[in-house]
Every structure is written in structure tokens, then in C-alpha cells.
Amino acid sequence: MRVHDEPQASTGVPLPDETSEASKPFESSAEPSSKVVSSKPESSSSLPVSSASSQAGGENEDYYIFDEPVTVNQLKETFNRVRKNKDVEVLTKAGYDVSEGAVVTGDEISFLDSEGERKTITAVILGDLTGSGKPDSKSLKVFYPALAYHSFNELQRRAADLDGDGTVTTADLLLLKKRILYGTVG
């Protein structure tokens, strides 16, 4: 069993407002606070937060992009509250169970979908290029040379694309600095 450090500025998994139309999971018309990027044509209606689906080119894996740091407990509580699904596991890239602490970029989230099929997606925390669970100065140190030499790996590229335009640019670098300095999202 592994435990990731708690994210420092975590506000948790964004939950739909129970009194609004967005309280119906996956039918939200509100602006998404996290999004699923999938190579599969089906919409990703398996996660318990407002999400948007889009196609990824030629990849065979689902990614769930969190705008903010989130803990394992917050993620599990959200699944239980919104999806009535207690069978949620967070695993490291090496396959170890993460029972508490932060969900970090590269962790795998395994759960049962509405049809009872096991689904696994890879977590991406925007700004977390090092697997710390939050944007920090270590991520900034990775960002500079990776941007200069176009050497982001796939997870880093997704975590570094803070503006969500599909390309990592200096605009993303500025957004990362803003997140680190001011703790802001967006």
C-alpha cells in the first residue's frame, strides 16, 4: 500500500450542485472543471464530476484531467455520493494501491461503470509534471527544458497544456507560474 502526500491547496473534486440541472451526473451544461480525453468514441459518462469528452489522436488510453489537486478520499467520496459506487481504486503506475493522500498525474483510477464493467483511466492533474499531485516549482523546472526541446512525455504534455488548446506553449508556462505563485486555476 502506498500513500501519496496530501496536496497543499486542494479544494477537492468539483461536485455538481445538487439543486441544479448539473446535479445529474454527466448531463451538466455548466462549464466543465475537469475533462476526459479518450480515444474511444463513447462519451465518458463514468466519472462523478462534470466532464467533457474529446477525441485524442491514435491513443488507446483514457485520461481524466483534473483542474485542481484532489485527494484519494475526496475522489472516493465523490464516486460514492454521485455514482453510488464504492468500488473505486487508485493505483500507482507500478500497480500499487493508493489508500490515502493525493491523486497524482499518472495514477490509474479503476472503477465499475454503470453497466458493471471495470474501467481504468489515467489521472492528469493540470500543472503536475512530476507526479507530486499539484503544480509546484519542480514542475516548473521540468517545463522549461521540455518546452525548449519539445521533450514532454505524454503525461507531461497533458499536464502542461493548462489552457487546453492541445499544444504546449509559453502561454501554458505563464499559466503554470500563475498557479504556483497565486494558487489560481485558469
Q: Is the pLDDT of residue 71 over 90?
A: yes
Three-state DSSP at 70 gives coil
Burial of 113 (0-12, 13-18, 19+ CB in 10 A): middle
Ranges 4-8, 69-73, 145-149, 179-183: which has the least confidence: 4-8
* pLDDT tens, residue by residue, 32-58: 344 444 333 233 334 444 333 333 343
In sequence order, the 6+-apart residues with CB closer than 8 A to the CB of 18 are none
- Determine the Cα–Cα distance for residues 117 and 136; give it in Å rounded to an integer: 36
Phi, psi dihedrals of residue 110, rounded to the nearest 5°: -115, 130
pLDDT of the residue at 113: 84
Cα dist. 106→28, 70, 83, 100, 181 in Å? 26, 13, 23, 16, 24
* pLDDT tens, residue by residue, 93-146: 999 999 999 999 999 999 988 888 999 999 999 999 999 999 999 999 999 999
Percent over 90 (pLDDT), the chain = 54
Tell which residue, 65, 80, 102, has the closest CA to residue 90. 102
pLDDT of the residue at 184: 73
Tell which residue, 14, 60, 18, has the closest CA to residue 34. 14
pLDDT of the residue at 158: 96
